[in-house]
Amino acid sequence: MTTSRLSCLAICTLCLSTTTVAQPPSAQTPTPASCAELAAQRLPDTTIRTAEAVTSGSFTPPGSRNAITNLPPFCRVAGEIAPTRDSHILFEAWLPLQTWNGRFSGVGNGGWAGSIPFGGLAEQIRRNNASASTNTGHEDRPGTDMARFAFDYPEQLTKWAVLVKSWLLAAPQILICWAMLPLLHVVCYVAALSLLFTGTIPRDMFDLLMGIVRWRYRVAAYASLMRDEYPPFRLDPGGR
């Protein structure tokens, strides 16, 4: 699943770079013609099946009869990633055709869900973000256990990584993050008051706040198999 995330991010990065979209304030937006040209891009183990401008204000996801409406114009790039012989990772990358804000927001789909969350992509496009997502490499069929792929294709779940990482090794980290949640709320409240009345946040308070937040993100990345390094048991406020 990590491969699908990284590959999809690489695709979206390529799409943004080849459509000459720049950061604000002098942002340039891709044209429908440049969107169509993305179909000719070549990436390792990747097939781009669709590169089209959607300018009608609505979009009907494949296999659905319900149209998603109230959409700004966007460039839709869709295809398949196949890093192994039996891989079938479907992806969608949506790029604003107008007023891109310079941000990319990936959309997750929760658990073993084997479908692309088109509603989440639509929400990001409405916010003028570029976005992308995958089906995590398997299809979600009605009445089928969504984790069935791990039984049929155990190599896609190397060494029971999810069981060991998400349930065993990450358990103490998750408990610590849960225990720190009240402290995080208190620090955020005090920091907001300090910012309101003094215009600044004390350095020690800022470091504590950033340390808790960074700890939580490190644990989330590890438990979701996005990183192999075990998170350290420490507050790390980052570079100064």
Q: Quick check: 188 pLDDT over 70?
A: yes
Q: Please, what is the Cα angle at 205 between 204 and 210, to 5 degrees?
A: 100
Q: What is the pLDDT of residue 42?
A: 85
Residues 61 and 68: their CA atoms lie apart, in Å, by 8
Least confident residue range of 18-32, 141-155, 190-204:
18-32
Confidence of residue 25 (pLDDT cuts 50, 70, 90): very low
Residues 36 and 27: their CA atoms lie apart, in Å, by 20
- List the domain boundaries for the chain: 2-156, 163-223
Task: Give percent above pLDDT 90 in the chain.
Answer: 33
Which contiguous run of DSSP H or E holds residue 24? none
In tens, the pLDDT along 46-85 reads: 999 999 999 999 999 998 899 999 999 999 999 999 887 7
Confidence of residue 163 (pLDDT cuts 50, 70, 90): low
Helix (H, G, I), strand (E, B) or coil at 106: strand
Residues 77 and 11: their CA atoms lie apart, in Å, by 9
Contact 141, 113 (CB under 8 A): no
Q: What is the pLDDT of residue 166?
A: 61
In tens, the pLDDT along 30-40 reads: 566 688 888 88
Q: What is the pLDDT of residue 136?
A: 81
Mean pLDDT of the residues in the chain = 79
Q: What is the average pLDDT across 196-201?
A: 91
pTM of full prediction above 0.85 = no
Q: What is the pLDDT of residue 197?
A: 92
User: What are the two backbone dihedrals, phi and then psi, of residue 43, each rounded to the nearest 5 degrees?
Assistant: -130, 150
